[in-house]
A and B are shown apart, each in its own frame.
Chain A
Amino acid sequence: MDTIILPLTGGVLIGIASSFILLTLGRITGISGIFANSFIDFSAKAESWKYFFLLGLILGGIILKITYPEFFNYEISGSVSLIIIAGLLVGFGTRLGSGCTSGHGVCGLPRKSLRSFVATLSFMVAGIVTVYLKGLL
């Protein structure tokens, strides 16, 4: 039950959140972009609503960590070098590819964007192949 209801509920919430941003601000909710604009690009791209969006992400996490700690019952495992390599790839790749799971997947696919379809297919396949190859080691 939880394996369908919780992911579906969470997914619908993510949809509502990004629809809300598009309705009110007319913007795509692309988290890698929001994050990079806020802390790397600065200039005109660092709009204040983006900082508040990131604050909301953190605040939501804190509230749920206190009220439903069972959602956080896992460990982020990996050696220091693996975590660093993965973080570098995610940071660099999402900028070169103009988006991540939220911008290309959650927002791009519903816009029927061919670019987002190709991007989503690319990172899904790359992720699946990576997990497969890592399993062979």
Chain B
Amino acid sequence: MKNLIGLIGGLLFSVGLVVSGMINPKKVIGFLDAFGDWDMSLAFVMGGAVIVNLIVFRLILKREPVYNDKHNLPASNRHITKRLVIGSVLFGIGWGLVGICPGPAIVNLVTLQKNAVLFVAAMLVGMLAFKYLDAFFAKESGE
């Protein structure tokens, strides 16, 4: 059952990313070009998703999940760390350079464009690099 849920969730999410235009790097860069020729349309993507979740999450979190014993959420949501900020800034730079974040990167594989495959491969290497440098970064930021 969990696998079917995963599949349906992925399908819905994918359709949302495609229909909204989030998979199109030109639109994403247009959205991030706030000081230039700003295309605000993608603000409605995050807006729509956040509003739905703002309403529905409250109701959901009042009871146990249907196919799991309990909610499994990030432990702390107030602890601001260097890792959080530096990591997010690095991600933002990469996002701004090409206009692709992880979800759209995966969906874009279906275009079979060389750059789509290259991006996902580089993303994997970046994640792998983090896995092995993690201990070092944890020590550096004293966490």
Residues of A within 8 A of B (CB): 3-4, 6-29, 31-32, 35-36, 39-41, 47-65, 68, 71-72, 74-78, 80, 82-98, 100-102, 104-116, 118-120, 122-132, 134-135
Q: Which residues of B contact A134 (CB under 8 A)?
A: 96-97
Residues of B within 8 A of A (CB): 2-27, 29, 32-36, 39, 41-54, 56-57, 60-61, 64-68, 70-74, 76-80, 83-103, 105-111, 113, 115-116, 118-131, 134, 137
Q: Min CB distance, A134 to chain B, in Å?
A: 7
Say whether B77 contacts A60, CB under 8 Å: no
Q: Which residues of B contact A41 (CB under 8 A)?
A: 131
Say whether B48 contacts A8, CB under 8 Å: yes
17 examples of A-B residue contacts, CB within 8 angstroms: A10-B21, A14-B17, A15-B16, A15-B51, A23-B56, A39-B124, A57-B14, A58-B14, A72-B111, A76-B98, A87-B120, A91-B130, A111-B57, A115-B76, A123-B91, A126-B95, A131-B34
A134 to B33, CA, bound (A): 10
Q: Which residues of A contact B113 (CB under 8 A)?
A: 75-76
16 extra interface residue pairs, beta carbon distance < 8 Å, beyond A58-B14, A102-B13, A102-B103: A8-B44, A12-B49, A39-B127, A86-B98, A90-B123, A95-B134, A96-B130, A97-B85, A110-B54, A111-B77, A114-B80, A115-B77, A128-B33, A128-B96, A130-B93, A132-B35
